[in-house]
Amino acid sequence: MTNEEVLKRIKGGLIVSCQALSTEPLCDPYIMSMMAYAAKEGGAVGIRANTTVDIEAIKKKVDLPIIGIIKKDYEGSDVYITPTEKEVEELVRTGVDIIAVDATKRMRPGNITFEEFFKNIRSKYPNQLFMADTSCFEEGKKALELGCDLLGTTMCGYTEYTKGHSLPALDLIERYSKELRARVVAEGGIWAPEQLEAAYKSGAYTAVVGNAITRPRDITRRFVNALKTLEE
């Protein structure tokens, strides 16, 4: 698929995030590939996936556009979504359609700013689609100026300076759409179809839903916690 075809396919639809960390019961490339297959059967227009092994397994199972990330912790930095050029290079080798990177103003491993990091990868991979996982308007504006193709609200509520922000971040979606005229990926805090609808009404170009669809442990906990409130 060309970049134009990828962007056209994901517009106005639902991208399903199929991820499981090593601490989770469903952490297995085969299981993630079947999750992706089930998502496609349900009408998903794309998949967001973590790790090269999961991406490669999913690519064998579905022909949907994939947003790829590598989550990795580095000492001395809070950035963990595709934090260094090493992870970007690994993702590029998989042929993934879109690479998502943390685009927050927090320092990356090696005390590198997002601007330094992104200028390097944009120069190295001029034809690769990149999605900026942001937490606030300032970050989205900077990411767009640097050449990011899509702005995600992924990190809103998850950085120290955005904690407590209501999710989904409809205000941020609206500002990105209206003020920056960006392709906005609504991601984070979408647990119900009504919230997905609200994200689109706020100006989303596309949307990602993960926990509410592909994380049964988290979904179960929400129901169990609801019962606990009854006991109180």
48 near 208, Cβ under 8 Å? yes
Dig out the tokens for 167 from the structure: 């999710």
Helix (H/G/I), strand (E/B), else coil: 98? strand
**Residue 84 has what DSSP assignment?**
S
96 near 64, Cβ under 8 Å? no
Distances (CA, A) of 126 to 140, 172, 228: 19, 27, 52
> What is the CATH code for 3-231?
3.20.20.70
- C-alpha Rg value of the chain to the nearest Å: 17
CA angle 156, 158, 162 (to 5 degrees): 60
Show me where the domains of the chain are located: 3-231
Q: Is the pLDDT of residue 224 over 90?
A: yes
Q: Is the pLDDT of residue 97 over 90?
A: yes
**Segment 202-228 mean pLDDT:** 95
Q: Is the pLDDT of residue 232 over 90?
A: no
Q: Is the pLDDT of residue 2 over 80?
A: yes
Whole-structure pTM value: 0.96
37 near 62, Cβ under 8 Å? yes
pLDDT cut 90: percent of the chain above it: 97
CA distance 50 to 54: 6
For residue 114, the model assigns a pLDDT of: 98
Q: Is the pLDDT of residue 5 over 70?
A: yes
Predicted confidence (pLDDT) per residue in 53-89, tens digit? 999 999 999 999 999 999 999 999 999 999 999 999 9
Site of tokens 């990356």: 108
Q: Is the pLDDT of residue 231 over 80?
A: no
